[in-house]
Structure 1
Amino acid sequence: MSPHHEPELVDDAVEEVLIRCPPDDPASLLRAALVCKAWSRVVSKPGFRRRYAERHRAAPALGFLCNIATGTESAHFVPTSVSFRPPRAVHRKMRVIDARHGRVLLLHGPPSAVSSMAMRLVIWNPVTDEHWELPAPPVAVHPSCWNAAVICAATGCDHLDCHHGPVKVVIVGFHPDQMCMYSCTYSSESGGMWSTHMASSMSFLDLDCYFKLKPSALVGNALYFVFMSRTGPSRILKYDLTMKEMSVIHLPRTRFTCPRICLTTTDHGRLGFVEVGVCKLYIWSRVDGLSTDAGWYQSRVVDLKMLPPPYSSFDGAFVGFAGSVGIIFLATKDGNFLIDLKANRARKLGEDRSFYGVFPFTSFCIPASAAAMSPHHAPKLVDDAVEAHHAPELVDDAVEVHHTPELVDDAVEEVLLRCPPDDPARLLRAALACRRWRRLVSSPAFRHRYAERHRAGGSALGFVCNLGAGFNKFANDAHFIPTTPLSSFRLPGGTATVHRKMRVLDARHGRILLQDVDPRTSSSHRTRLVVWNPITGERRELPNLPVVVQDPSFWKAAMLCAAAGDSGSCDHLGCHQGHFRVVVVGIDAEQMSAYSCAYSSEPGCVWSVRTAAALSQQPGCSFEMNSPSALAGNAVYFTFRTRLGYIRIMKYDLATEQMSVMKIPSTGFYCPRIVLMTMEDGGLGFAIVGECKLYLWSAVLDGSDSGGVLQWYQSGVVDLRTLLPANALKASPGTVGFAGGGEVIFLGTKVGNFVVDVKSNRAIKLGDGRSFHSVVPFTSFCVPR
């Protein structure tokens, strides 16, 4: 039965929190989506993906791709993100040509082995693991005479989250025998066809010209490639995507004869390049202008020796640059390095110097967008688990990268406080979203605020009962049963759901009281009581009772917080790990008197025994076996029955340890079976079943000077004929337990056991058909620590 829930926070407020998950840690967003279905729906909305990308603007660097020539050449994905791992990190016998807008362009085989009209290009999406092999280009391709780029093909796209849209591949090259340039363009929107454009002979072309398959740069509406010469200076080839025309841009004169450069896009959206000098990086930007001979200026110089941590030398070959996020890749004699220009730090990537052709991979990895692209190869956002088949592996390897400032803890807390207490797994998943949320949830201040917000005394996480009829071998096994089959609460690992040879006595304030009925460990002169905490799995055996108890119908027990009855000292919202008190009340049939025993777990406390006034006016008394005790105000209440069948209530005052007897009002039923309840307002009440109806009664003080006299009124009637199946009402059901301030009632019938939610007016069947005996609901807050 789903208890009454507080309305959850509106999606807009949840989105304001989730939109601040750092984009370079996609696992945090995935874990947040796994908190519950409502959050999963927020993340999976196309509008969320769009706003998430707009907020963070620049796509994060999730890793880089490089070519490694150790034996067989292969393309490798090296992660730099905190948690992103692609489904396939190595592509054997393939080479990286370019990477942009969430896609990677791969070439089958080394470029020197590519024959004319037989080029095999493949587009790979590392987020979804999709591969598209392109048709062969319609031109003869010669080694070292071409380069290629992959870009988004959508018109007017801002490229924030377009890795699932149309794609375009551009090849530029020249024919060494004809000394003329050409370009080929492939677009997924053009039906998978190539278009070819030939340029006239260009004066700079000679036999010494060649291309290196270095990263290209996309600036505005043009692609730029480095064009090399063995005898002259390097130049930049510009390809206009609109006009499909090519032109040449000259590089500035620098202090180095053969500069090692890599093209990039500057922060201001201009063309730039990075040059490697002696332990320094020189960053150049191009001056705005329409002419291909527009000037250059040096915008920044980075002294690599000043970057932490110190290394012997940064003098090496420049291999890659992700300008949008300010990350540079260098290969040196000390190893390979990732340099974060924004954070002014360097991090070593490995000792292997054999990799070359480094292409940074930048993309947003939003779980829902991957699922939308390829439902068979992407993470599925469900409430309980993730299907990891062919999905990006999300791990917690720490990488020092620049994070977007996260939302202040107060705003996150306001969302997490609204996780429903009867679904503790939701709060646990939120705690696993990231370390910051985990620290927030595990703080004592959060646990107390969470309990105060859901003040109903905790949620019904399950109930403990003895199954069977009477005191047979089934009834002497205590079973823990979740409130509903879909309940997310489970006992701690290794904790049994069935306690053999144990009888359930009571449950309250996050603990359960059990009696050992195994004849090997207990006897008529030794009553063994055990206190069990289902949240922590802790079990504590109490000292032997100081009185002899035999027939279970002559005594009852109650489980309480040690501060119960001490007004204002504990609100019982999260006290399941504090001190506790056990109260035992009994009837001495020979002396016709009542007695009580009390035990506290506080240091130095032992069992105390008190004898009450004689029960001469209540001959032949016995306690109601299936009726749990009730705590109301400063007293605990138990029901017992006289020899003539009349129901009476025994009150035990927690402050004075005095006992007294009260009558119940006339209900119109002979020998009724009632269950005492703590009502929603904290007062005493009881429920009774008759004529296919459930009657709820509440008690109030009469307000006179004499005090202590109770008056009763009927507070509610529930027609069971609208809730239970007809065959369940052939015999009058019996009330066997309650939870949630009288909102949830447990009923036993001839055809099974039912739990009735009074507020929602619903009922569901529980268990496997065996009758419940001694049902005690377990209510507590389960907040991760």
Structure 2
Amino acid sequence: MESERQPPAAASAAISKVLDNDDLLIEILLRVSFPTNLVRVALVCKYWLRHVSNPKFLHRFHKLHPSTLLGFYIATGPTLHAPHFVPVQPQPPELAAVIGRTSFSLDCDQKVLTYIRDCRDGRVFTTRCKGSESIHRVYNPLFPEKGMLIIPPIPSYQRQDDYYCCLSQILSVKEGDDLSYLFVWVASKKDRTKSMVHVYILRPGDDVWRTHLTLATDPLSNNWVTKFVLSDNKIYMRGVRSDIVVLDLVASRSSTIRLPQGVEYGDRDTMLSRADDAPGVYLIQVKELQLRIWLHKGDNWLMVDTISLVEMCGNLRISDCMGEEEQTAVLWIKQVGDNVEFVFLQMGRYILYLDIKCRTLRKVHEMAGKDQCYYVHIYPFKMIWPPTFPPLKDDPSRNAM
């Protein structure tokens, strides 16, 4: 067998023929499974670093390998004030090691109310309330050496005649390698004929929230379960009728989208999802153990997927904390990933994870107590994207292909 092996010079020539071909090398690097491996690739040499840090390469890579879900924070009970982290298992060994060496604790104290306001790009925005005092912090569990970021006080609601503040939300937006935050609060007229949306922004390095936009809109829902969605510089919000109110942050105007024919915006069976892979927004509905997905593109709704959950739920063989008769009929949407990559569902005391691409449904958490079954918030925690690469010093061609 020794005689059949290539001599070192021939083997080296064959390797160079592959690795010196940019197109072939890129196709090989695209098949690296995880962002952590991309960082290792970047450390091999500057030549490889230029390839894997190129925006076009990163776009293709992320399309093939969406950010991996490491786990989720879950808050239960009437106050939803003590979220804890639940890892999603099984994980590949490399990502399991990341979870194992990281503390996802948010330092929750039973005597202090702690709420998650936003969870994106590996960072968790929390508010701790003790009496009349509120402290806002951003945790970075994957990079604990960076410490916690203390957030300036959030603007308080200014009372207006005939208006009342019905709900507020924190939304994050990626800016370079960092996050900016939007604080959105809605005040509605008491006769429910109009709403006022106030948007404040906090950019990296700011020590105060700045007014970004104040705009009158069609009346908005005041249901605390409702979640706003930020997609392509537009905030999508639930209206009081069967419609979605869209706030355009660039054009400073609002508009209304009618829901697909026959769809009603239920509190627990319908949710919107951010669309990064297409202009617009996704709508997801679970009804009679069938999940349907639409994409609003232009002025129309396009049905993009339908998934039957009957057999999947049957295979789980779980008993519902509300009774066996209700178990097959009650499925609530709790959270949806960007681009509808995944959906978290609740069936009684169980939290289920549906991988849309793989068409798999599995039980990932079990709650205790009837109160916990009704009051549930879920905040997915994913790997950071894009990864942080080492700097290329004295190399102006870093992003050149």
Q: TM-score, normalised by structure 2?
A: 0.67
Residue among 222, 240, 262 paired with 2:271: 262
Q: Which amino acid in 1 is paired with 2:86?
A: V
Q: Who is 1:236 aligned against?
A: 244
How much has 1:257 moved relative to structure 2?
7.9
Aligned equivalents of 1:184 and 1:220: distance in 2?
A: 16
Equivalent residue letter for 2:31: R
Partner Cα distance (1:203, 1:18) in 2: 49
1:67 aligns with 2:69: no
Question: Corresponding residue for 2:200?
Answer: 185
Contact 1:101 1:151 in 2 (8 A): no
- Distance in 1 between the 2:235 and 2:308 partners? 30
Taking only aligned residues, the RMSD between alpha carbons, in angstroms, comes to: 4.0
In 1, distance between residues paired with 2:344 and 2:235? Answer: 21
Partner residue in 2 for 1:306: 311
Q: Provide, for residues 399-423 of structure 1, a one-character-per-residue CA deviation record: whole Å limited to 9, x for no partner.
A: xxxxxxxxxxxxxxxxxxxxxxxxx
The gaps in structure 2 that reach 5 residues or longer are 1-7, 159-163, 318-327, 392-401
SS, match of residue 53 in structure 2: helix
Q: Quick one: distance in 2 between partners of 1:136 and 1:39?
A: 41
Q: Could you tell me which amino acid in structure 2 is paired with residue 132 of structure 1?
A: L
Shift of 1:149: 0.7
Matching residue of 1:330: 345
Distance change in 2, residues 1:367/1:299 (3 Å): closer
Q: 1:189–1:149: structure 2 CA closer, same or farther, 3 Å change rule?
A: same
Higher helix share: 2
In structure 2, C-alpha distance between the alignment counterparts of 1:248 and 1:317, rounded to whole Å: 26
Matches within 5 A, 1:362-401: 362-364=382-384, 368-369=388-389
Cα drift, residue 319 of structure 1: 0.6
Does residue 1:224 correspond to 2:258, yes or no?
A: no
Show the 5 A alignment for 1:196-211: 196=211, 197-200=213-216, 202=217, 204=219, 209-211=221-223
Task: Give the aligned partner of residue 273 of structure 1.
Answer: 283
Deviations 1:682-728 (A, max 9, x none): xxxxxxxxxxxxxxxxxxxxxxxxxxxxxxxxxxxxxxxxxxxxxxx
Q: Which residue type is aligned with residue 367 of structure 2?
A: D
Matched, 1:137 2:159: no
Shift in alpha-carbon separation, 1:174–1:151, aligned structure 2, 3 A: same
Q: 3-state DSSP class of the match of 1:55?
A: helix
Residue type at the aligned position of 1:186: I
Q: Is the 8 A contact 1:74 1:90 kept in 2?
A: no
Residue 125 (structure 2) pairs with residue 105 (structure 1) = yes
- CA shift in 2, pair 1:76/1:68, >3 Å: same
Corresponding residue SS for 2:152: coil
Residue of structure 2 in register with 1:286 after alignment? 296
1:296 matches 2:301: yes
Partner of 1:57: 62
Q: Secondary structure at the match of 2:143?
A: coil
Q: Cα offset for 1:222?
A: 0.9
Q: Deviations over 1:60-115 (max 9, x none)?
A: 13235333235872233433453142833232243222334554433334xxx896
Pairs aligned (count): 333
**How far 1:44 moved relative to its partner?**
9.2
Does residue 176 of structure 2 align to residue 171 of structure 1?
A: no
Alpha-carbon distance between aligned partners in 2 of 1:104 and 1:251, rounded to the nearest angstrom: 32
Return the index of the structure with the highest Cα Rg.
Answer: 1
**Does the alignment pair 1:251 with 2:271?**
no
Deviations 1:606-656 (A, max 9, x none): xxxxxxxxxxxxxxxxxxxxxxxxxxxxxxxxxxxxxxxxxxxxxxxxxxx
Q: Secondary structure at the match of 1:96?
A: strand
Aligned to 1:146: 168
Once the two structures are TM-superposed, the CA of residue 329 in structure 1 deviates from its matched residue by 0.7
Deviations 1:98-139 (A, max 9, x none): 334554433334xxx896xx6544334443244322212333
User: What does residue range 35-50 of structure 1 map to in structure 2 within 5 Å?
Assistant: 39-41=43-45, 45=49, 48-50=52-54
Contact 2:195 2:218 in 1 (8 A): no
User: Which consecutive residues of structure 1, in runs of 5 or more, have no partner in the other structure?
Assistant: 154-161, 290-294, 373-785
Q: CA deviation at 1:350?
A: 1.8
Matches within 5 A, 1:331-480: 331-333=346-348, 335-352=350-367, 354=372, 356-364=376-384, 368-369=388-389
Q: Give the SS at the match of 1:310.
A: helix
In the superposition, the TM-score normalised over structure 1's length comes to 0.37
Aligned counterparts of 1:63 and 1:332: Cα–Cα separation in 2: 22
CA contact (8 A) 1:127 1:365 kept: no
1:537-584 C-alpha deviation (Å, 9 max, x unpaired): xxxxxxxxxxxxxxxxxxxxxxxxxxxxxxxxxxxxxxxxxxxxxxxx
Amino acid at match of 2:306: V
Give the distance between the partners of 1:65 and 1:17, measured in 2 at CA: 32
SS of alignment partner, residue 90 of structure 1: coil
Q: Distance in 2 between matches of 1:363 and 1:194?
A: 28
Deviations 1:468-519 (A, max 9, x none): xxxxxxxxxxxxxxxxxxxxxxxxxxxxxxxxxxxxxxxxxxxxxxxxxxxx
Matched-pair contact (CA < 8 Å) for 2:165–2:188: no
Q: Per-residue CA shift, 1:209-257, capped at 9, x if unaligned?
A: 4143554333322121335x5xxx4643322221344444443453668
User: Structure with the greater relative contact order (CA < 8 A, sep ≥ 6): 1 or 2?
Assistant: 2
CA contact (8 A) 1:199 1:245 kept: yes
Is contact 1:224–1:236 with CA below 8 Å preserved after alignment?
A: yes
Report how far residue 338 of structure 1 moved.
Answer: 0.9
Using the alignment, how far apart are the partners of 1:21 and 1:356 within structure 2?
A: 36
One-letter amino acid of the structure 2 residue matched with residue 55 of structure 1: R
Which residue in the other structure is 1:22 paired with?
Answer: 33
SS of the counterpart of 2:155?
Answer: coil
In 1, Cα distance between the equivalents of 2:50 and 2:376?
37
Query: What code does the residue aligned with 2:171 have?
Result: A
Task: Flag the 1:364–1:148 CA change in 2: closer, same or farther, 3 A.
Answer: closer
Kept in 2, the 8 Å contact 1:145–1:176? The answer is no
